[in-house]
A and B are shown apart, each in its own frame.
Chain A
Amino acid sequence: MTPVSTATVDDLTQTAAPARFWDRQRRLGVGVVVIGLIATAVFGPLAPSQTARFTLSEDAEGAALSINGQLGTILFGLVAVVAGAVLLAGLARRFQTSVLSLGILGFVLSFLCWQVAGKFLPLVDTASGTLELAVPLVLGALAGVLGERSGVVNVAIEGQFLMGAFGAALVGTMATSVWAGLLSAAVGGLLIAALLAVLAIRYLVDQVVVGIVLNLLALGMTGFLYERLMQTDAPSYNQPPRMPEWRIPGLADIPVVGPVLFDTNLLVWLALILVFAIHFGLTRTRWGLRTRAVGEHPTAADTVGIRVRGLRYLNVLLGGLIAGAGGAYFTLVATGSFNKNMTAGAGFIALAALIFGRWTPFGALGAALFFGFAQKLATYLSVAGSSVPSQFLNMLPYLATIIAVAGLVGRVRAPAADGQPYIKS
């Protein structure tokens, strides 16, 4: 082709899609400036001018990072304002995420300075609490990742949690083995997953409806058995052994990081390992490529000889095992016994983490940590007698998800065939 005609094509290309002023970056910039201003102008005056101590050890004494509460509140608020302003002014794409994170971090730190002023916040305890609270969310969200990347919507995570928690308590007590408990938790999740898979994949029932029904089924069934079986004789049926904490000598002595990561229970490691494994699996293996193909364009997968339904079954069932294991957290780690509806919506927060994390394992981990931190902070606030109702922080996962789904934080795109049954024509 000669230069003349090439130029024509290029000219048209360049004028075809002019950039819009209010792009994602600028919209985010406005948001960050606004929360920064709130932090500076609202939190700042409210914060008492007393020292806020972030202690590195378990108690009020010992080494700590200290700052004047009011000063910190205003200072970090301003950090958020500046970060937002930078976004608003426009900058290269590759810096966007870091600047955005800086802005949100500024807001969070400003809030903390306000709340901690005159008190202390144990950092290690907060971090390990955050991680532990995040564990069931990560496992639940990973179950969702497996199902939804292959095209099956899983809103039954809550039910899988409940069955897992119940199974862990019952079998764990009867076998007096925490491992038997963990195993039956996974099986409990698998049962719900099997129902979901058969109804959604084979009988083409609406996947969201099936999920909701399965949640109710799990709630009713575990509730019934709890009242009729466990409550009558708790020592024989509802006192499972607790999951032991494993301390890795050497590594556990590293300050802050050590106690958080290397003096903890198996479920924490399981969750972290699975995040890496599933991420790697989805991006680098034959299974992952096929899973994603089946979730995006099942007909295309079928025409190259991939068994669409078989792969969906496999993924949903694997997800059931993982979510069930996540349910074990509630009985084997958190409380030590089963209670009616003890998961209290954690499965839905896991679902939120899945969406907020954009259907990716690491995204889910990040979202789960964020939500776990919010929960931990909510507990801290109510114990510390804060003026901010802890319910506000408990609302955060849902609020964040609404913002994410509304498209304010990047493009949230579900797998194209998510929730659509595959019917051979």
Chain B
Amino acid sequence: MANDHIDLTVEPGEVHALLGENGAGKSTLMNQLYGLLQPDEGEVLVDGVARTFRSPRDAIAAGIGMVHQHFMLVPVFTVAENIALGAEKARAGFLDRRRARREVLEVSERYGLPVDPDALVENLPVGAQQRVEIVKALTRDVDLLILDEPTAVLTPQETGELLAVMRSLAAGGKSIVFITHKLKEVKEIADRITVIRRGRTVGTASPETPEDELAALMVGRAVNLEVTKAPAEPGREVLKITGLIVDDDRGVRAVDGVDLVVRAGEVLGIAGVQGNGQTELVEAVMGLREPRAGTIQVDNEDLTGMTTKQILRSGVGYVPEDRSLDGVVKEFTVAENLVLDQYDRAPYGNAFRLNPAAVATAARERVEQFDIRTSSPDSAVSTLSGGNQQKVVVARELSRPLRLFVASQPTRGVDVGSIEFIHGRIVHERDVGTAVLVISSELDEVAALADRIAVMYRGRILAIVSPDTPREEIGLLMAGITDPSAAAPAEPVTGEAADGDGAAEKGTK
């Protein structure tokens, strides 16, 4: 059960934050409100009238709009086509394109959301795509706008702009439901906060509530938001990347001349908005993608040309960014997943057979060591929560002696309790002298873990800064602006236009 007797009231002109951990049931709740899912019980009242939404069509008719976490835009359509879709202005079935364009420009101007109606959506950066989504909802004359984790893909500056837009929409009388798990944003924008935990409403709060109190409400116990760690004691250079160039699947340059050094006993964090080459960089290090040029050395041994298995065996641990795709085999048991990388080595087995007893013993140990909540080591991994699945991955990778530990998005889709635990293990690994490379699109995470932060933008490392650097400065770097003094009064329109052009150029290659 994803939602268990939830009550929620949203007033006109209010920004109502729906706060909860990943998997708490926020999106499920909103998908019911938007007609994508049908509730088993309970009712929805709009302006005091009970309504049933069998499909999004009904919800739209009732004045409800939604910006989904994964954008609902057709990549090969233009902005105007995407916005018109489903509510096309037509004369006798023929599209009235001029009117569609005009309407887009009108709404875009009225709400201060610059979008180019003729641009292809696939060529737009995510920030612009999100504006298209919002304009799409607004052209449908909504009274209630649901934003599902809208800031997950934005730079801190873009987030700021979005919050301002939300504020002005609310001032114009629209109601906004803001779904998030980020406490800072909630406190900044919300008029009221409803906290959801495991499918139940556990309380409402005002934005004045302190962060740790909100976090406790969200998780169900007191949590430590800070990562406590001693100052790093960097040793020898372990990972040394020089002049690395990597192309993505489409043959577009994704990593464009990266030089990096990670020392033993330090955490190097890579910050950056998703899609700036982090994925390709990590894949190149792990031998999953062939670089076009450059060298990757671990303790002066060149990794390029080695297979992934050889790289893992040489003492590199790897937490992949997409757990369900690359991290675990969901149908396999916890025990099997824990030895995925060592099934053919003593004591777990050899080239011909497995040693089930050794696998089982090891599994029992790891489950306890890493606090993996499972009914049994023989349960399929798919029965575990996201956080516990991630702990399986982390446990597997950290249970052999490492020289380098690469963790990509180590806590994506993981509950707060598990985040604390995984962060602790990462710091512990650093303290025993392993070189650690952490890649995360959550700036908070990078800032909390890293001893040095490398900011990646369009395939390059723009700067390496200390974690004490003000967030605004790192945010600007994430947007590709290297001179903070010049960009202080950032003008969103020009900045985004330049961004859009850049992406368009990339897209046509």
Contact = CB atoms under 8 A, between A and B. Distances in A.
A16 B95 contact: no
Interface residues of A, number: 38
B74 A300 contact: yes
B486 A289 contact: no
A416 B57 CA distance: 24
A17 B252 contact: yes
B36 A303 contact: yes
B351 interface: no
A242 B244 CA distance: 69
Given A289-B81, A425-B37, A20 B251 contact: yes
Contacts of B88: 286, 289-290
Nearest to A305: B57
B253 A289 contact: no
B498 A6 contact: yes
B405 interface: no
A363 to B, nearest CB: 16
Interface stretch (A7-15, A164-172, A217-225): A7-15
Interface in A1-32: 1-2, 4-6, 8-10, 12-13, 15-20
Contact of A302 (B36, B76, B94, B95): B36
Interface stretch (B164-172, B180-188, B281-289, B455-463): B455-463
Contact of B76 (A1, A19, A287, A296): A296
Interface in A266-317: 284-287, 289-290, 292-293, 296-297, 299-307
A9 B490 contact: no
A12 B87 CA distance: 39
A424 interface: yes
Given A12-B480, A303-B68, A17 B84 contact: no
Interface residues of B, number: 54
Contacts of B34: 303
B75 to A, nearest CB: 7
Question: What secondary structure prevails in chain A residues at the interface with B?
Answer: helix
B460 to A, nearest CB: 7
A287 B93 CA distance: 7
Contact of B480 (A8, A290, A302, A425): A8
B90 A290 contact: no
A17 to B, nearest CB: 5
Nearest to B483: A4
Nearest to A3: B486
Contacts of A299: 72
B482 interface: yes
Nearest to A16: B458
A1 B505 contact: no
Interface string B53-70: 001110010000010100
A341 B93 CA distance: 41
Given A289-B84, A302-B56, A9 B499 contact: yes
A5 B486 contact: yes
Contact of B56 (A4, A12, A305, A416): A305
B54 to A, nearest CB: 11
Interface in B457-509: 457-460, 480-483, 486-487, 490-491, 494-495, 498-499, 501-502, 505-506, 509
B77 interface: yes
B460 A12 contact: yes
Contacts of A289: 77, 81, 84-85, 88, 95
Given A13-B501, A18-B253, A301-B86, A8 B460 contact: no
Contact of B73 (A12, A13, A297, A302): A297
Contacts of B451: none
A12 B502 contact: yes
Contacts of B90: 285-286
A311 to B, nearest CB: 11
A209 to B, nearest CB: 23
By CB atoms of chain A within 10 A, which of B66, B480, B491, B499 has the most?
A: B480
A381 B42 CA distance: 75
A300 B94 contact: no
Contacts of A16: 252-253, 256, 458-459, 502, 505-506
Interface string A191-227: 0000000000000000000000000000000000000
B341 to A, nearest CB: 32
11 contacts: A4-B487, A5-B482, A9-B481, A10-B498, A16-B459, A16-B505, A286-B88, A289-B84, A292-B76, A416-B75, A425-B37
Interface of A: 1-2, 4-6, 8-10, 12-13, 15-20, 284-287, 289-290, 292-293, 296-297, 299-307, 416, 424-425
Given A16-B505, A300-B85, 18 more contacts: A5-B482, A12-B460, A15-B256, A16-B253, A16-B458, A17-B505, A19-B509, A20-B251, A284-B94, A289-B85, A296-B77, A302-B56, A304-B60, A304-B86, A305-B57, A425-B31, A425-B36, A425-B37
